[in-house]
Amino acid sequence: MGQKIIQQHFSHADFVQFRERLVTQLAALKKLIKQPTFGDEPLQLGAELELYLLDENFKPACASDQVLANLNDPLFQYEINQYNIELNLPAVATQGRPFSAIEAKMLNKLSELSKITEQLDLLPLAIGILPSLSRTDLDIDKMTDQLRYKLLSHQLSCARGKPFHIDIHGEETIELNLTDVTAEGANTSFQVHMMVPPDEFTKVYNAVLLTQPLVTAIAANSPFFLSKRAWHETRVALLKQTLDCRLPEMNAHKLPARVNLGCGWLKNDAWSLYAEAVALYPILLPYLTEDVDSQLPHFAELNFHMGTIWSWNRPVYCPQGNGHIRIELRALPAGPSCIDMLANAAFAIGLAYGLRDQIDDFMAIMPFDFADYNFYRAAQSGIDAYLMWPDLHQFKLSQQAVGQIIRQYLPVAKQGLLALKIEQAEANKYLQIIEQRLESGMTSARWQLETVKFFEQTQNRQQACQQMLKLYAQFSNANLPVEQWERVWQSN
């Protein structure tokens, strides 16, 4: 959806032609990925970080136009709302010290951003959902003045035919109706792009699906929405409901939402994910492009269609070099600190590669519905969640504490990173952060909840959230792992 759109209206003929191109491009992609050279190049990692812009009261500041103009840096881009921007980090080689390289680049670019925002009395912040958001921050007048976002909102609203119903039952209940998709921008992520060898794509992708609940639980960073205590990772519920344009009869036929973990275990190659997307999801924006003269096809319409489906782990085709399809890990939240975000990425990637050779055994005894169930339980309860997990020795499923499972698979994550030829010191550095977080039970979600609870002893909820955010920003900017953040509820 980063593509610039200049067309404002679409005819029936546009939809027909767009559909024809999807079918043609699907057939061409199927042949292309069978070529022996496809994906045959050194593996790389890339990342995107979505950020909030805040004013001096830690409220959203609709200032993306001014910030981006003053930055004049192509690595920073618009996001859906005026109080969000995105940092696109260049890809680095997977081999060696990739997480340190991404962390260093991120810190450098955020430092440049801070110099600009300080001049405007603004503060950039990486946090899954900003607790100080108000209902008016979700109105369409807060949307970025970019045509693609307005068209997307319009098409989703038309497809829905009635307000989007938000109904999140956490520690406190959040229920409201929204007429557009501006609330999508309330969810900010640290999206990691992971190249995968073509012959291992299916196994790695399925391992990502299996282990997503473990990563979600330990990385949770979105416990508040509209100042209410919701899920530990509320983004998972909010994004699904914000973009759910299915009609009742579509729900009855079990057609998947446009935001989902997946429709089942991947049984073939990456092409199946594209075919599934074309078959199951109606076209939202039939934007037709001119052919590009290049060595490999760009599949512009197919990629554009995939950009209107918000799978938590999405395939991304790239025509550069020999061409490849990578996995975009979209479920990691933004924040709390750069080192925390890279630790989350290292854990996710390590698990996926560490379990890839066993994944068929897991899938044999675990229906995908259990993986989906685990994902939502982890999002709701975070480090306190209980999951249904396979026992490969006894060939059974049993309910286990997520912390117990993570502890068991930390060595597997390390093996996975080493298998990618990532330096041992690099693997140790970032997985140790996950281990320390696990041993203390201190995720960022829990830190936020406990800190607000402490401040609520003498202040109302909004004031307590503001006080928490002041500390959060201080520790985040210092790039401290959240496990080392001051625990005011213990020190006073």
Query: Does a structural domain hold residue 359?
Result: yes
Give me the CATH number covering residue 180.
Answer: 3.30.590.20
Rg (Cα) of the chain, in Å, rounded? 22
Comparison of pLDDT for 60 and 150, the residue scoring more = 60
What are 400's two structure tokens?
Answer: 């286990």
CB–CB of 257/251 below 8 Å?
A: no
What are 373's two structure tokens?
Answer: 């169930």
Query: Does a structural domain hold residue 18?
Result: yes
What are 327's two structure tokens?
Answer: 């996995």
409: enclosing H helix or E strand = helix 402-419
CB–CB of 40/322 below 8 Å?
A: yes
Domain carrying residue 353: 12-491
Q: Quick one: DSSP state of residue 187? A: -
- With both helix axes pointing from N to C terminus, report the angle between 98-119 and 338-354 in degrees, rounded to the nearest 10: 150
d(CA 469, CA 102): 25
Q: How confident is the model at residue 190 (pLDDT cuts 50, 70, 90)?
A: very high
Comparison of pLDDT for 258 and 430, the residue scoring more = 430
Q: Which amino acid is at 167?
A: D
Q: How confident is the model at residue 256 (pLDDT cuts 50, 70, 90)?
A: confident
Query: Does a structural domain hold residue 380?
Result: yes
Query: Over the stretch 322-375, which tens digit does the pLDDT of each residue have?
Result: 999 999 999 999 999 999 999 999 999 999 999 999 999 999 999 999 999 999
Query: Does a structural domain hold residue 476?
Result: yes
Is the pTM of the predicted complex or chain greater than 0.85? yes
pLDDT at 3 over 60: no
Please give the pLDDT value at position 1: 42
Query: Among 139-153, 318-332, 376-390, 432-446, which stretch is predicted with the lowest mean pLDDT?
Result: 139-153
Query: Does a structural domain hold residue 300?
Result: yes
Q: Which residues contact 139 (CB under 8 A, 6 or more apart)?
A: 182
Residues in a beta bridge with 233: 222
Q: Give me the number of domains the chain comprises.
A: 1
Query: Does a structural domain hold residue 158?
Result: yes
CB–CB of 153/297 below 8 Å?
A: no
312 closest CA partner among 369, 237, 370, 420: 237
